[in-house]
């Protein structure tokens, strides 16, 4: 399987897909799309032709088909390369994993995505301290709930890495980068530490990407 991943080293959504590809042992060619240089290179006509939403990640398959949206890409990878599984076999456990993953991907991340933060700053004219307060608020709201839902470890939903971990670790990276205090979230911090010991997660870290600055 030959794939091309359109990525940006600091994008948490692209970070999720890098982790999944690494866990599956799938090689990929990475194409860096810088989200802030030149007004955001995701806005070029060339990349818009790849992904009309002008966001990363996008995964181009050997067939030429392009997949977008990190959770859709990861579930596709899990469907066609079922080992190791990223979702439990049990329907109830699978729903619990998806709930944590979606709390990150659908609740926390959209409110704190670069597009949203730029809009708050440029169109709504808020100052950086207000934007930081906004960012911290939504991360803490989400982490409070996730902390209560984490199962006995070492990973978010028990003994095996799942989609929940793949979503949570990049969100913790972003929280640290934006200086969100994590003292109240020992379970989340412990999950992050356990995951980052795994080569698939370590290789996917933003600082280990060829386009890292």
- Residue 212: inside a domain: no
Residue 128 has pLDDT above 70, yes or no: yes
Q: Band of the pLDDT at 90, cuts 50, 70, 90?
A: very high
Specify whether 164 is located in the same domain as 72.
Answer: no
pLDDT of residue 18: 98
**End position of a domain, from candidates 84, 105, 126:** 84
Q: Band of the pLDDT at 1, cuts 50, 70, 90?
A: low
Specify whether 72 is located in the same domain as 132.
Answer: no
Residue 119 is part of which domain span? 91-200
- 78 closest CA partner among 123, 130, 26, 39: 26
Which CATH number characterizes residue 148's domain? 1.20.1050.10
pLDDT of residue 196: 98
Specify whether 12 is located in the same domain as 110.
Answer: no
Q: How far apart are the first and last CA of the chain?
A: 29
Specify whether 114 is located in the same domain as 184.
Answer: yes
Number of domains within the chain: 2
CB count in 10 Å sphere of residue 109 = 22
């Amino acid at each position: 399987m030959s794939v091309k991943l359109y990525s940006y080293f600091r994008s948490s959504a692209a970070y999720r897909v890098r982790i999944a590809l690494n866990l599956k042992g799938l090689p990929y060619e990475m194409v860096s799309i810088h989200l802030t240089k030149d007004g955001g290179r995701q806005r070029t006509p060339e990349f818009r032709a790849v992904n009309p939403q002008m966001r990363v990640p996008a995964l181009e398959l050997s067939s030429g088909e392009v997949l977008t949206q990190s959770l859709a890409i990861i579930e596709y990878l899990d469907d066609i390369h079922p080992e190791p599984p990223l979702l439990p076999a049990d329907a109830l456990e699978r729903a619990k994993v998806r709930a944590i993953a979606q709390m990150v991907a659908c609740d926390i991340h959209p409110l704190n995505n670069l597009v949203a933060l730029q809009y708050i700053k440029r169109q709504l004219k808020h100052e950086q301290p207000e934007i930081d307060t906004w960012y911290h608020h939504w991360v803490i709201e989400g982490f409070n709930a996730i902390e209560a839902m984490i199962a006995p470890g070492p990973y978010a939903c028990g003994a095996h890495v799942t989609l929940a971990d793949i979503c949570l670790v990049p969100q913790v990276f972003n929280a640290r980068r934006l200086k969100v205090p994590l003292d109240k979230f020992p379970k989340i911090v412990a999950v992050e530490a356990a995951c980052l010991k795994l080569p698939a997660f370590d290789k996917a870290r933003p600082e280990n990407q060829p386009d890292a600055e």
